[in-house]
Structure 1
Amino acid sequence: MAQSARAVVVGGGIGGLASAAALHARGWDVTVLERAPSLEPVGAALSLAPNALRALDVLGIGEEIRDLAAWQGDGGLRTPGGRWLSRAGAEAATARFGGPLVLLPRATLVDRLAALLPPAAVRTAATAVLTDPGDGRRPARVSVGGQDLEAELVVGADGVNSRVRRALFPAHPGPVYAGFTTWRVLIPLPGVEFASHETWGRGRIWGTHPVKGGRVYAYAAAVTPAGGRAPDDEKAELLRRFGDWHDPIPAVLAAARPEDVLRHDVHHIATPLPACHSGRVALLGDAAHAMPPTLGQGGNQAVEDAVVLAHHAHDLAAYTAARLPRTTAVARRAVKAARLNMTGNPAAIAVRNTAIAALSKAGPALFLRGFDGIADWRPPYAAGDAHTGERKREST
């Protein structure tokens, strides 16, 4: 590959930085354009499953990230009263998928990915507009701050409301509201012992998980109309909705300050895109396949996208062929999971809980089963195999 090949990445989130790092490792001259004034991420924490950790192995940081794993002992699914429906241990997850599940602050991963790039590669406060997707005879063009940048490859990693996606596929309906909103908290919680868990209630869920360094990551979701906000503050809203649920939820809420609570409506791409590319432009992450967070795979799929895109950077049709079927399937599973755990029908909840308990007694916990065919993915090339290497067929 010519060393002068240039890539412009629109978006400096996890997917954008991972793709820039993967392309840089293959000799591309990479520029990342982030419209925010800094790379400080939106969101509290991120769950990385073995599939994404293998992709990070390609970038040379997989083991470092694995060392941040904090889940020890049992975890699983509970009812609001505290009854366990399904339990599984960290060792069982590692044995089933060949690696751990790691929960870490988003900022940690963003910082580590950014460190893989030359300092001048990232431009913040840079709003980019795709002006020409290019084709086989001409480069793509991006306008930023009155300057036109030409590139052999443009990567649209600008999130669920991607302007790059709209430019490529103006007839696509875009993201839709998933029917529920989420809250997230990342705080210190010294002296409180608990088992990692997700709790399913009536049209509501809560999760509490340890993060290395004595912190806890908690998230909640509830079925509610789009655009809603608490009349006072979001901590008070969480107390109203979850304050009488089992321990350690009351302790988490007591320790959180109103300003610690992030709230975001969930939007996803319900209609798959016709392709993950057009011309010399490729889409990845939420720009290509935004999905509900119910499987925790949004960021994981973006990291997968990044290493596969670097592998197929000169053949974007091959990138679409490798990624579109897989990400569509994962997104559909995430939607099905949301329907299961966010249902508000009392009869359906009773049947669901009975089935989960029975299935978990008969075999691997439902929590682990939900990752079958997802967490066992392997990248198409290995670390150090940057330029040529043996091409491996991507798992789907």
Structure 2
Amino acid sequence: MSHAVVIGGGVGGLAAALALQRRGWTVTVCERAPSLDPVGAGLAVAANALKALDVLGVGDAVRELSAVRGQAGIRRRDGRWLVRVCAERAAARHGDPPVPLTRAALVGLLAERLTPGTLRPGTTVHSADPDSGRVTTSAGDLDADLVVAADGIHSAIRRALFPDHPGPAYAGVTSWRMLVPRDGLPCPAAESWGAGRVFGVLPLAGDLVYCYGTDTVPAGGRSADERAELLRLFGDWHDPIPRLLEAADPARILRTDVYSLSRPLPAFHRGRIALLGDAAHAMTPYLGQGACQAVEDAVVLAHLADRPDGPAAYTAARLPRTTRIVRRSASVCRATKARHPLAVRLRDTAMALGGRLDPDLLLTATDGILGWRPPT
């Protein structure tokens, strides 16, 4: 029986482990943290990722957590809608509307379906040999027919395989993420755009709201009180944003500078090692496709893994698609960074006009992403 070693116990790594197990592989997941404690607050599982999760037997469990109803879209900082869509039309076009949920919930759904003994928390990977498949860890060596490097945006395995690649670059924005009690507030799913700033509100199951904000600032900044900083930046924006920020726990607000692999890798594999998720194609968060593309990666890699040219076929299948999505996300990021009043007005006018001309603008613009189908 073929054996795979997965490096990293995040969404992508767990999805890869489950996908491979469902195709008859034995799998060992090495996670350096002592337990599966997902980094981040929430995410949105889009229609393409739900199709991939269906292959893993997880899709319906994710759909049950959907709390998005009615209208969603993009607003101005004063609350005026620029472009919007309803969940029913999204489902009719792409099969499902997006499902926002906590990252912990998705990690839990994946992890609980793995064969007992698959996960090895507290295990640090020191190196992986692409020729032999030997993985050196803090708990001893492992031999693998396939090594899946899902070790994140600052992947040590990627650096070892492609030392001449420049690695992740700062996208020019920092982000804040938090989970906030809803407490009866009306919270339509929306992203609000201002001058160089964005604030997102996504209702979740269990009376929670996933909130996130971005601002165009130099890298490395920190505030003694991040909630106070968010109130300074967004406190005069439309409801319910100020009230959600007032309800946020300052100790649980995550601030992270946004980096991406703006220059594509030459390949997603070398020898027996395949890179997956952020290790292969880290992108800005503006299309909500980071975790979604990692789940796609997992399903495609498992589908091809038994072939003699499996890793090479995986690169051929995934590199062109993810490169396009990284670039699309970067272009949206550039649009959100507009600060000059004239540039902001032109951007907002163009979006509003586009939405009037095509009521399904947000859907048609993402057909190429959300219309993806798993390999059969």
TM-score range, shorter chain: over 0.9
Match of 1:332 in 2: 327
**Aligned residues of 2:128 and 2:157 also touching (Cα < 8 A):** no
1:342 Cα deviation from its structure 2 partner? 2.2
Counting only pairs closer than 5 Å after superposition, residues 214-293 of structure 1 correspond to structure 2 as 214-230=207-223, 232-293=224-285
1:367 Cα deviation from its structure 2 partner? 3.1
Match of 1:380 in 2: 375
Counting only pairs closer than 5 Å after superposition, residues 339-350 of structure 1 correspond to structure 2 as 339-350=334-345
**Aligned residues of 2:286 and 2:333 also touching (Cα < 8 A):** yes
| Cα offsets for 1:35-61 (capped at 9, x unmatched) | 111111000011011100000000011
| Cα offsets for 1:276-311 (capped at 9, x unmatched) | 100000001000000000000000000000000001
Q: 2:123 aligns with which of 122, 126, 129?
A: 126
What runs of 5+ residues in structure 1 fail to find an aligned partner?
A: 382-396
**2:40 aligned with 1:43, yes or no?**
yes
Q: 2:347 aligns with which of 345, 348, 352?
A: 352
Q: 2:15 aligns with which of 18, 25, 32?
A: 18
Aligned to 2:12, the other structure's residue is in SS state helix
Aligned to 2:173, the other structure's residue is in SS state strand
- 2:166 and 2:247 mapped to 1: Cα distance? 41
**Aligned residues of 1:75 and 1:197 also touching (Cα < 8 A):** yes
| Cα offsets for 1:136-167 (capped at 9, x unmatched) | xxx31111115111100000000000011111
**2:84 aligned with 1:87, yes or no?**
yes
What runs of 5+ residues in structure 2 fail to find an aligned partner?
A: none
| Cα offsets for 1:74-114 (capped at 9, x unmatched) | 12111111111112111111112121210001101101101
Aligned residues: 373
Counting only pairs closer than 5 Å after superposition, residues 34-183 of structure 1 correspond to structure 2 as 34-134=31-131, 139-145=132-138, 147-183=140-176
Q: Which contiguous aligned blocks of 4+ residues in structure 1 show a shift greater than 2 angstroms?
A: 364-370
- 2:32 and 2:338 mapped to 1: Cα distance? 37
- 1:341 and 1:364 mapped to 2: Cα distance? 21
- 1:87 and 1:55 mapped to 2: Cα distance? 26
**Aligned residues of 2:159 and 2:165 also touching (Cα < 8 A):** yes
**Aligned residues of 1:77 and 1:367 also touching (Cα < 8 A):** no
Look up the equivalent residue of 1:255 and give its one-letter code. A
- 1:47 and 1:14 mapped to 2: Cα distance? 12
Aligned to 1:119, the other structure's residue is in SS state coil
Aligned to 1:217, the other structure's residue is in SS state strand
- 1:146 and 1:308 mapped to 2: Cα distance? 30
**Aligned residues of 1:205 and 1:221 also touching (Cα < 8 A):** yes
Aligned to 1:78, the other structure's residue is in SS state strand
**Aligned residues of 1:187 and 1:260 also touching (Cα < 8 A):** no
- 1:276 and 1:364 mapped to 2: Cα distance? 38
Look up the equivalent residue of 2:314 and give its one-letter code. Y
- 1:367 and 1:266 mapped to 2: Cα distance? 24
**2:194 aligned with 1:197, yes or no?**
no
1:366 Cα deviation from its structure 2 partner? 3.9
TM-score normalized by structure 1? 0.92
**Aligned residues of 1:200 and 1:342 also touching (Cα < 8 A):** no
